[in-house]
Amino acid sequence: MRHLISPLDFSVSEIESLLTLASDIEKNRPKYAHACDGKKLATLFYEPSTRTRLSFESAMLSLGGSVLGFSSADSSSASKGESVSDTIQVISCYADICAIRHPKEGAALVAASKSSIPVINAGDGGHQHPTQTLTDLLTIHSLKGRLGGLTVGLCGDLKFGRTVHSLIHALIRYCGIRFVLISPPELRIPDYIRENVLDAAGIEYRETTNLEDAMEELDILYMTRVQKERFFNEEDYIRMKDCYILDAEKMKNAKPDMFVLHPLPRVNEISVEVDDDPRAAYFRQVQYGVYIRMALILTLLEVNCPC
Ligand code: NCD
């Protein structure tokens, strides 16, 4: 039985198979409409979510399966003091696969160790968010035709943003990847990623506080929201929340085939005027998120593709 806890749980060739399956799903949706008939997905969300939870639910329903779960810790037995490991043993009796989001780093790993069904990490604190990464990889691959040989700008809250952490882990496995890390000094990428991941793999990167100057060298710009819920005090959040605002003026400096991604939700970091730019890909990215989650559910449940 397989789980997805970290983006590295799948090899490069397994990721390639997932992307190929997701692209086939995109082109031939009716073919997959009953692939998971009779199967159940449980969504255990201890932290708020719109996209990720509904994306999982939409994916399972599109495969003919059904969904059950909760969308906040308050509406689950966690509010009575139940541990994640007890909850997962109970859920294992109710569902065939589960997606879990939890504010504590490592919660999905704990769940997987006690689970008798595949567990998907839908975000654990500021740590990892592997299904957003699969979404990002599918989006980049679909838009650029490749995952290597790209200069990727990561902008915003690089300290607490788990989507950024996961994406870096995943992208360094492709040749010719270069990063421009754009953040205020207080929200720099954590040392453990700079040293143990980027430096250890000999990846080319530079850190800057200036988005405007970085624009012209990027193939992908990955914008992120300042992660309010992970700040220890409100004042720091208020000081940094609008540190970057991508607008039409800044887009003028970008390559014509540069694409803007964002895991969403957006707060102020991308001005709505950018939405009309053909290079704004963040809403297309949401659609890719459903296809890749469909591919992931099929793969983890070992459902034979109806090809
Ligand atoms: C991200 C998350 O939850 O980490 N959102 C998402 O899953 N699409 C990014 C964020 O909340 O800023």
For 237-256, how does the pLDDT look when each residue is reduced to its tens digit (9 = 90+)?
A: 888 888 999 999 999 999 99
Pocket test for ligand 1, best of 264, 266, 293 (most atoms within 8 A of CB): 264
Among the residue ranges 71-75, 101-105, 106-110, 113-117, the one predicted with the least confidence is: 71-75
pLDDT level of residue 306 (50, 70, 90 thresholds)? low
Query: What does the pLDDT average to over 267-275?
Result: 97
C-alpha span between 118 and 186 (Å, rounded): 37
Write the DSSP assignment of 41-69 as a string of letters: EEEEESS--SHHHHHHHHHHHHTT-EEEE
| Cα 194 to middle of ligand 1, angstroms | 21
Structure tokens at 275: 């939405």
Query: What does the pLDDT average to over 110-132?
Result: 96
Q: Which residue, 206, 285, 216, is CA-closest to 250?
A: 216
Q: What pLDDT score was predicted for residue 203? A: 98
Separation in Å, CA 6 to CA 184, 236, 257, 299: 27, 30, 30, 16
Q: What pLDDT score was predicted for residue 216? A: 98
Q: Indicate the DSSP class of residue 199.
A: I
For 187-222, how does the pLDDT look when each residue is reduced to its tens digit (9 = 90+)?
A: 999 999 999 999 999 999 999 999 999 999 999 999
Tell whether the model's pLDDT for residue 72 goes beyond 90. no
| Residues forming the active site | 51-52, 80, 101, 129
Q: What pLDDT score was predicted for residue 113? A: 97
Structure tokens at 135: 């979404």
Q: What is the mean pLDDT of the chain?
A: 95
* Residue where the block lists tokens 């009796």: 93
For residues 306 and 294, which has the higher predicted lDDT (pLDDT)?
Answer: 294
Nearest atom, ligand 1, residue 47 CA:
3
Question: Does the beta carbon of 52 sit less than 6 angstroms from any atom of ligand 1?
Answer: yes
Question: Does the beta carbon of 264 sit less than 6 angstroms from any atom of ligand 1?
Answer: yes
Residues 6+ apart with CB under 8 A from 246: 155, 211, 221, 223, 260, 269, 270, 271, 274
Pocket test for ligand 1, best of 163, 283, 288 (most atoms within 8 A of CB): 163
Q: What pLDDT score was predicted for residue 178? A: 98
Tell whether the model's pLDDT for residue 307 goes beyond 70. no
Question: Does the beta carbon of 121 sit less than 6 angstroms from any atom of ligand 1?
Answer: no
Q: Which residue, 163, 72, 142, is CA-closest to 284?
A: 142
Model pTM score: 0.96
Structure tokens at 258: 């540069």
| Cα 304 to middle of ligand 1, angstroms | 31
Tell whether the model's pLDDT for residue 122 goes beyond 90. yes
Task: Specify whether the CB–CB gap between 56 and 293 falls below 8 A.
Answer: yes
